[in-house]
Structure 1
Amino acid sequence: MPRVRSLDSARATCEHYHPGLGKALEETDLVEREAPGGPVIELFREHGGPALLVPPGFGGRGAGLVDAVRVLRAVGSYSPSLAAAATMHHFTAAMLFSLDDRDGGLTAAQRALLRGIVPGRKLMASGWAEGRTRQNVLTPAVSARPVDGGYLLNGSKKPCSLSRSMDLLTASVAVPDAGGRPELAIALVPADTPGITVHPFWSNGALAAAESDEVRLTNVFVPGDLVIRTTAGDPDRLSELQSTGFVWFELLISAGYAGAAAALVQRVLDGGRGAVTDRAALAVRAESAHLLLEGVARAVGDGDLAGEEAVAAALMARYAAQDTLCGAADLALELLGGMDFIRSPEGALLAASVRPLAFHPPSRTSTAEPLVDYLGGNPLALA
């Protein structure tokens, strides 16, 4: 039976970092896996999911960007919901631990909290600006008012994946700098802190197991030593944080959707559906998106792309993959045929789970002018 060989390779990489996860996920029917309250997040936790991008010095696996893209593609092929949720944890880990590599990095209190991620199998939810129209993912989504010993946080994040399983909420906030001007900071907030509540929000059947509900913060106190200043006296620190955040987020989130599309391709190959030329065309569409994402990941990992050049490449790879994967999903459903659509919800569920890539920030519309300007030789200026 024909196989999607690159998907087999991605699943082998996933097995290397998370032994038994793929098998455990497959033991539950896909529809049950993807339903609200499904088991996928706890299975991810039990099989070492939180450790993937945590550096070895903090007890983690320290995977590089290429392996991370492969793992997320594999996870997406098993459970698109889990890939979306896991991306939020991994993207957060990539940014937070990158701060510790610089002078004036994490404080002792911040390190102590983050050292508990791997042994405690803790999951980090991302309280950034995703879900807010025309907002940079790093734009503060929560207000922070200085009080004695720290800050009071108010605001909400919707949708917020991992909302019901998170152990730690990381929120972008604006705090005053030495001159009283607002400065981007990251608040590390344990999920059991008083004032944090979770409310129903996600109503779509696609990606329903990602726990993408609303998290509200009402006068949530966070100590000052758990607020990470993104400049900390280093003007290059924020720029590097933004670059890291964009690159990791765009490539990992796209890889998860590429996995969902690959699972659809495998269903077509398993059934021998359509003419061989149709199956080849389908495979080319799905594989080209995967190869593009992995190519950018490799260039970034090897140091061939950095800074705004890496951000631009990641964004363009994401938008190209977005178009290609949706086309592949449409063709796969057509080849599977009407009786498969009628008798089995799995194909339609996977196809619907490819579409939300278009809704993650930044939107194609919001980056059109910055990318055109960048291609013309100007700096990449994302709003």
Structure 2
Amino acid sequence: MRMLDEARSHCDRLLPGLCSALAGVPLAELERPGSPAIELFRKYGGAGLLIPTAHGGAGAGARDAVRTMAALSSYSPSLGAAVAMHGFSVATLRAVPESVNPLVPVLLGAVAGERLLVASAFAEGTSGQGVLAPTMTARATGDGRYRLTGSKKPCSLSRSMDLITASVRLMAPDGGEPETAIVLIPAAAEGVSVHPFWDTLALAGAESDEVRFDEVPCGPEELLRLGDDPADSERLTSTGLIWFQLIISSVYAGLAASLVEDVFRRSRGSASDRAALGAGLRSALLQLDAVALRLEDGEVGTGALADALTVRYAVQDAVGDLSGRSAELLGGMAFIHSSDVAYRLAAGRALAFHPPSRTSTAAPMDAYFAGEPFVMP
């Protein structure tokens, strides 16, 4: 099918061999706990996908990311969901200006060169918090170092991560206002532990368990301070949120594309049925391309964020519609004799559970469409 052929071609160019490796493993094996998919992603250089070539990465842009994530998720939705958080973490780090923290290029080079996977312990999954809201507190120990305490659940890549990135609240020793910073610590650090959390079969291969931080030691070199300019912090927050919506929406678009592809492969339904599915999928991918193009052009203000959320919710609706209509055209025998159709139908619903929910942004979106500035809740 054209859309997935194009997506897989992009993936083959950026991460040669990965699509073929994933295609050789049954869906049920890719989606189970302990899936080989994440290590295949590492093996074929996926850790450096979004890292510029100057730092040893594949140099993918935002539009490349849409296609590559859709391609990977057409084989394994769990892989897409897991590495979406790696991509989000890398994209957030990449957005930190070198003038604010000169260590960022060094960190990105290490991630690409050593094929390190970066988990995200930002606030995803925490009701009432923004994605970049601090989930941990850092207590100063008096020697210029800190001790981190907190928890993230669910935390994708929890079993395969090499590094963990998160926003932290640095508590002021004098009782003043806390400072927000980004922390990047080794997954093997003292006080970091992983605990079972994910109880459903859907997306079980994403390793979305609980990660706890119990007085984890942290030095100043592991903290990315954002500086004193509120504009820098706001820009970083908006950039990270747009990247998150773009990547996670691409994951579920790829999942829906795999069902649409089955309809075309088996010539199910009429030409009109198939053309309608193809048009719906193409439209969703083009909407994601529009968000990606604005990212590449440097449009990361609050208006761009509101538009990215608009596209995310539209893709969310399209995934449900395309998956349901594809399953209907594939028919009852396809549903009965293989769990793949039922699995993808269930997993596709999970886009609605990624933050921010449609309900939580309803009032700000209402105000934005009425002509007011968009304010992220």
Matching residue of 1:269: 264
1:235-314 to structure 2, matched below 5 A, reads 235-303=230-298, 305-314=299-308
Q: Is the 8 A contact 2:90 2:108 kept in 1?
A: no
1:173-184 to structure 2, matched below 5 A, reads 173-176=168-171, 180-184=176-180
Q: Is the 8 A contact 1:58 1:114 kept in 2?
A: yes
Alpha-carbon distance, 1:282 to partner: 2.1
Q: Is the 8 A contact 2:57 2:109 kept in 1?
A: no
Alpha-carbon distance, 1:324 to partner: 1.1
Q: Is the 8 A contact 1:260 1:351 kept in 2?
A: no
Q: Is the 8 A contact 2:153 2:197 kept in 1?
A: yes
Matching residue of 2:372: 378
1:183-222 to structure 2, matched below 5 A, reads 183-222=179-218
Matching residue of 2:337: 343
* Count of aligned pairs: 375
Is 1:353 the counterpart of 2:350? The answer is no
Matching residue of 2:223: 227
CA distance in 2, matches of 1:7, 1:39: 22
Is 1:45 the counterpart of 2:39? The answer is no
Q: Is the 8 A contact 2:138 2:171 kept in 1?
A: no
TM (normalized to structure 2)? 0.96
The letter of the residue matching 1:197 is S
CA distance in 1, matches of 2:73, 2:288: 14
Structure 1 unmatched ranges of 5 or more = none
CA distance in 1, matches of 2:134, 2:291: 28
Matched position secondary structure for 2:154 = strand
Matched position secondary structure for 2:366 = helix
Q: Is the 8 A contact 1:53 1:61 kept in 2?
A: yes
CA distance in 1, matches of 2:70, 2:191: 36
CA offsets per residue over residues 298-350 of structure 1, 9 Å max, x none? 233234x4311211111000001101110111111111111111101111112
Matching residue of 1:66: 63
Q: Is the 8 A contact 1:134 1:362 kept in 2?
A: no
Q: Is the 8 A contact 2:145 2:218 kept in 1?
A: yes
Matched position secondary structure for 1:366 = coil
1:51-200 to structure 2, matched below 5 A, reads 51-101=48-98, 103-107=99-103, 111-147=105-141, 148-176=143-171, 180-200=176-196
Alpha-carbon distance, 1:179 to partner: 8.1
CA distance in 1, matches of 2:107, 2:144: 18
CA distance in 2, matches of 1:202, 1:104: 37
CA distance in 2, matches of 1:120, 1:225: 19
Alpha-carbon distance, 1:133 to partner: 1.2
CA distance in 2, matches of 1:286, 1:114: 33
The letter of the residue matching 2:130 is N
Alpha-carbon distance, 1:380 to partner: 1.4
Structure 2 unmatched ranges of 5 or more = none
**Identity over aligned pairs, percent:** 50
Matched position secondary structure for 1:364 = coil
CA distance in 2, matches of 1:176, 1:156: 17
CA distance in 2, matches of 1:183, 1:149: 15
CA distance in 2, matches of 1:324, 1:151: 45
Superposed CA RMSD in Å reads: 1.5
